[in-house]
Amino acid sequence: MSNTNDGFLFRVWREKTSGARAFRMVFRIPGRVAGFFFTAWLVMVMWGIVGPRVGLDTIGYPTAMLVTLAVWLVMAVGGLVMRRW
């Protein structure tokens, strides 16, 4: 027995969930930005600890941001490649 309202209810549910998903994405973006800056700070701190022990100079925060951005981009591309593979 099929109810004719099943399609309508499913459409309403889908619209509500897609709006909620978009609403959650608005709050995820600032979290990712904060995570990026925190990760860059951690890279700077860890590089300052490990770098001199292996013969490398310490780096500043802008260079740590560049290293973090490069690592994030490599991981994003790797994730896309692995998803298609």
Q: List the single range of 16-20, 23-27, 81-85 with lowest mean pLDDT.
A: 16-20
59, 70 contact by CB (below 8 A): no
Q: What is the mean pLDDT of the chain?
A: 83
Report pLDDT for 16: 58
Report pLDDT for 61: 97
pLDDT per position as a tens digit, 29-43:
888 899 999 999 999
